[in-house]
Chain A
Amino acid sequence: MVPVEFRGFAWRHAGRRAQAVAGVDLRVEPGERVLLLGPSGSGKSTLLAALAGLLTDDSGEQDGEVLIDGKPAADQRARVGLLFQDPESQLVMARSGDDVAFGLENQAVPPGEIWPRVHAALEAVGFPYGPDRPTHALSGGEQQRLALAGVLARRPDLILLDEPTANLDPEGAQDVREALRYALADSEATMIVVEHRVADILDLVDRVIALGPGGTLIADGPAAAVLAEHGESLAAQGVWVPGVPLPSRPAGTAGDVALRGDGLTLAYPGADRPALDDVTFALRRGELVAVTGPNGSGKSTLALLAGGLARPTSGVATVPGEARPLHRLPARRLATRVGSVFQDPEHQFVTPTVRDELAFGPRQAGWPADRTAARVAELLDRLRLAPLAEANPHTLSGGEARRLSVAGALAAAPDVLLLDEPTFGQDRRTWGELVDLTADIRDEGTALLAVTHDRDFAAALAGRELVLRGGRLAEGAAE
């Protein structure tokens, strides 16, 4: 339980001209539970990194002070625990118990005390396995709870949470929030959390601090008061403020069938059941069909087979006008028939500039140069990528990269677009943009299939839903 204070704090990342944050003055009282809100670029993560003592002299330039219990944060590392967003890249060891022990070993906890503390921390987060469980065999939600146990075992006086559930499916996120609730009720530590999805975390905090671009203070006070007064503007900046209505874009009448899956089945060698088992469906122009279901139910497999990207064990996916099933089409032809947008946009980037990225599909398909140029200009304009035309795709922000990956898949004018978790981890503003973009694409007559956990996205756009359970279709069948 410690007080935390920023005094005229500013930080400039090495190699950047502009400061990430400037003139931050904040005080958090001992034991307070604070939600830090703000659009991307407001420096929330920079503030957390500063408190965790991760901003070293060689990584940038600091002004002002960051104090924990009145002393510089850099000297108080042992009293601070930081939970990151990505579970996969914060686990160190191969065995679960060892991973919790890692932080204790670093703290020079006597060997005799390590294992009791490891067991207590695993129990506190509701970890369902023993300490020998391999970390690679855990689901995202389980990995994140294990990482939380690693934080708690060190008994920090200040707990920092950087979007702890943003990378998880709804079920895993729920488990992590349960674990947090239980652990925080049991602890006196001061806590600061960064989170876009406010509703999910509101009962854990007693104060909300809202930051604007560059770390300027916009609002500060009890959660209810801040949200009542600034809800609209925070929502406009990308915060998921509870109660602010979401857009809805219902579809018109669906047209002809644009893609058909017949008895699609994929069994991986050695698996005890097929990942996808005899799924038949049709996808029509001008409609968006949401594919939903729990983890491991075969959603992504369905998207791969429907996109002609994996070879089905039996069954076929076909589009009108192609005699061959999709998985046997050459890639350059496939891209003119079905576009696929993956969860990680960077996996799809194949050229050094945004402009080339858009021209790539049409060139592969052998379009004449003037038609390609016209298509690129149109897409740059429509997806508001024109100012970034010469930028390297790997340098784009999350929302921009997402828009570019959609534009790239659309470039060769396929009739069908498949989306894998298009809104995963996006803030509300980007989310709204993606809903509008997707609705426009749909209303122009493209057939869309979206694998998604996002109830709101499905509600805003989907005409119907394919629900998968254990690889089989549960409802919303064929026509």
Chain B
Amino acid sequence: MLTLAPVCDADAPIARVNPVAKLAAVAAVSTTALVAADWLTPLLLLAVLAAAIPFSGIRIRALARHLAWLWLAAGTVVVVNALFAAEQTGRTLLAFGPVEISSGALLDGTAIGLRVCVAATAGVLGFATTDPTDLADALTQQLKAPARFTLGALAALRLLPLLGAEWQQITTARRARGLEAGWNPLRRARLFASTMFTLLVGAIRRAGRLAAAMDARGFDSEIPRTHARTQRMAAGDWALTALAVAVCAGAVAASVAYGTFTVFL
């Protein structure tokens, strides 16, 4: 079943860090990877992220599954950018009819692929180690996001797995009525639409009931809410954010020193 629990050991060092601190660290790393257009900066960042994995408490196998789509995406990015680069520079590596790949274009493509990898890996590391409830708490308390938004989103998230189960039930009930898509793509599309409609009717009713239940427990009262769990930045949380910024600065500095650094404009 689809669940929303984080896929990691909750006592691991990174899992215990404050969600806002993690958010800041992910933002720093992703922004750096986005701004730096060379291949060395993202490569260094990726190495640091790889070194951080043991501290995240994420099981490697689970992480690999989460990131499987990413390798595909990054690979596609490299190929597309190498193939369709505005100008092919450097040594020609491959020429086949109209297809031509040069070393310069391949390097640029690889850099872009690496940058995608860095941003995605950082995001997965941050979110897979964060409980959605803690994130909502932190956003509300530390970043003053409105509770109607954060808790509303949280309540909706709780209903998501139910939708999966309900989709299954509706599909089964349709077969009992004599309705089945088979191989006909048109029928398949129509059945999908009608199943989706039934699912939405149910979901909207359930959301209405949930909203009433939340209000019945005082969610819409004007009183400022208190918080059962306090989320704040401790010394260790500041340290992680600082470390992330330092790593970014270090990677950029190394790239500048090596002479490869360029800025994406």
Contacts and interface: CB of A to CB of B under 8 A. Distances in A.
Nearest to B218: A106
A105 B227 contact: yes
Contact of B206 (A54, A82, A88, A136): A88
B211 to A, nearest CB: 9
Interface string B206-218: 1001101111111
Interface in A66-122: 77-78, 80-82, 84, 86, 88-95, 98, 101-111, 114-115, 118
A119 to B, nearest CB: 12
B132 A84 contact: no
B225 A106 contact: yes
Nearest to A361: B178
B216 A52 contact: yes
B158 A331 contact: no
Interface in B160-196: 161-162, 166, 169-170, 172-180, 182, 194
B151 interface: yes
A332 B182 CA distance: 11
Interface in A385-443: 394, 408-409, 412
A85 to B, nearest CB: 9
A304 interface: yes
Interface in B63-118: none
A150 interface: yes
Interface stretch (A169-177, A246-254, A335-343): A335-343
B221 A78 contact: yes
A101 B223 CA distance: 16
Interface string B1-32: 10111000000000000000000000000000
A309 B177 CA distance: 11
Nearest to B162: A88
A140 B79 CA distance: 52
Contacts, number: 166
Given A91-B158, A106-B219, A150-B217, A98 B206 contact: no
A84 B209 contact: yes
How many A residues touch the partner, as a band? Answer: 35 or more
B62 interface: no
B265 interface: no
B202 A134 contact: no
B221 A106 contact: yes
Contacts of B142: none
Nearest to B216: A82
A77 B221 contact: yes
Given A77-B221, A93-B158, A332-B180, A105 B213 contact: no
A348 B170 CA distance: 7
Given A334-B178, A348-B177, A364-B179, A103 B226 contact: no
Contacts of B1: 136
Contacts of A107: 218, 221, 223
Given A89-B206, A89-B209, A94-B4, A54 B214 contact: no
A98 B229 CA distance: 9
A310 interface: yes
Nearest to B181: A331
B155 interface: yes
A89 B178 contact: no
A92 B176 contact: no
A457 interface: no
A334 B206 CA distance: 32
A164 to B, nearest CB: 13
A364 B178 contact: yes
B182 A89 contact: no
A364 B216 CA distance: 46
B259 interface: no
Contacts of A349: 198
A330 B181 CA distance: 10
Interface of B: 1, 3-5, 131-133, 151, 154-155, 157-159, 161-162, 166, 169-170, 172-180, 182, 194, 198, 201-202, 206, 209-210, 212-219, 221, 223-228, 230
Given A98-B228, A106-B218, 12 more contacts: A78-B221, A82-B216, A86-B209, A92-B155, A98-B133, A105-B227, A118-B228, A331-B174, A331-B179, A342-B176, A346-B201, A346-B202
Nearest first, the 4 A-B pairs at minimum CB distance are A335-B178, A331-B180, A90-B213, A106-B218
